[in-house]
Amino acid sequence: MRASRCPVCGGARVAPNRYPATPGLLRCPDCGLVFRERPVAPSAPPGPPAADPERLNAGRHDLFAVGLRLLAPHRRLGRLLDVGAGPGGFVKLAAEAGWRPIGIEPDAAVLRLAAELGVPGRVRAVAAALPCAAASLDAVTFWDTLDIVADPVGALREALSVLRPGGIVLARVRNGPVHLLMRRLPFVPTSASVVQTTLFSRRTLGRSLETAGFRAVRVRMSPLTARDPYRSETDPAFVLHMGRRAWSAAASAAAAASGQRLQIGPSLLAVARRPERDSESAR
């Protein structure tokens, strides 16, 4: 079924976006959002094949540690929810840092993997219906999952409702315009780019958070994973990863020089908070 309205601004003028290398994309001329005509399957998102779960968790350790540092000042109740927790690397690290985390995952097989790795607080659930009481959490995280779900603003609204006033949301997504550009460059293999359901830019990610009711929105370039969790150092494609690191360093410099306005890195990291008072969100 073709989406007739933009999932971020509600605009009705969405039209096919003609990218030869990536068919099936729509674009909203009102807010600039590019998104897939049909959402990707959460159980089999595009991108590299599933890595060994322990390797996947280990490769993302430093990235998750950055997330925990961003969340730490907002901890009061100590409760955190990770949406689409996968093999549970972030949930495990959050528990070690003193949080009481829950990780939700729609895929029973992935939940079993997390159980084998000793990850606490695993629940089978989807982003559209979080298994938490209203205003019961300090933090909700989306690690590379907000751009997979069919209704990202709906998922953010659901996150807002389970956060206490002043609670924080963190979302890491692929930097959509950069991945689309990569598909048009002849010297970059298609496997290097990933096109999820929603191709967020810095602007449309910020707008999604504000539309859902979040405030104090800040979108920055995300750190890379420390190692490529999908490829070993002996894999020829590992060279790609090294190129990616050089690119990321250049992108960090560009972001810093432009006051975070120029975001040319492969991923974005947003944080925002639920307003302390309802009147704040009605502005």
Binding residues (CB under 5 A) for Zn ion: these are 6, 8-9, 11, 28, 30-31, 33
Q: Give 30 or 107: the residue with its C-beta nearer to Zn ion.
A: 30
Task: For the CB of residue 28, give the shortest distance to Zn ion in the complex, in Å.
Answer: 3
Q: Under DSSP, is residue 231 helix (H, G, I), strand (E, B) or coil?
A: coil
Q: In 3D, which of 150, 188, 152, 186 has the Cα closest to residue 268?
A: 152
* Contact between 208 and 155 (Cβ < 8 Å): no
Q: Give 33 or 68: the residue with its C-beta nearer to Zn ion.
A: 33
Task: For the CB of residue 221, give the shortest distance to Zn ion in the complex, in Å.
Answer: 23
Separation of alpha carbons 85 and 142, rounded Å: 8
Task: For the CB of residue 218, give the shortest distance to Zn ion in the complex, in Å.
Answer: 21
Task: For the CB of residue 252, give the shortest distance to Zn ion in the complex, in Å.
Answer: 29
The separation between CA 259 and the C-alpha centre of its own chain, rounded to angstroms, equals 22
Torsion angle, alpha carbons of 130, 91, 276, 272, to 10: -100
From residue 79, alpha-carbon distances to 71, 136, 163, 170, 254 in Å are: 11, 8, 9, 14, 35
Task: For the CB of residue 42, give the shortest distance to Zn ion in the complex, in Å.
Answer: 23
Indicate the length of the chain as a whole number. Answer: 283
Q: Give burial (CB, 10 Å; 0-12/13-18/19+) of 254.
A: middle
Q: Give 28 or 160: the residue with its C-beta nearer to Zn ion.
A: 28
Q: Give 147 or 228: the residue with its C-beta nearer to Zn ion.
A: 147
Q: Which two tokens stand for residue 235?
A: 């894999």
Task: For the CB of residue 197, give the shortest distance to Zn ion in the complex, in Å.
Answer: 15
DSSP 8: T
Task: For the CB of residue 127, give the shortest distance to Zn ion in the complex, in Å.
Answer: 20
Separation of alpha carbons 104 and 264, rounded Å: 31
Q: Give 11 or 120: the residue with its C-beta nearer to Zn ion.
A: 11
Separation of alpha carbons 146 and 171, rounded Å: 7
Q: Give 8 or 195: the residue with its C-beta nearer to Zn ion.
A: 8
Q: Give 9 or 168: the residue with its C-beta nearer to Zn ion.
A: 9
Q: How far apart are the first and last CA of the chain?
A: 35
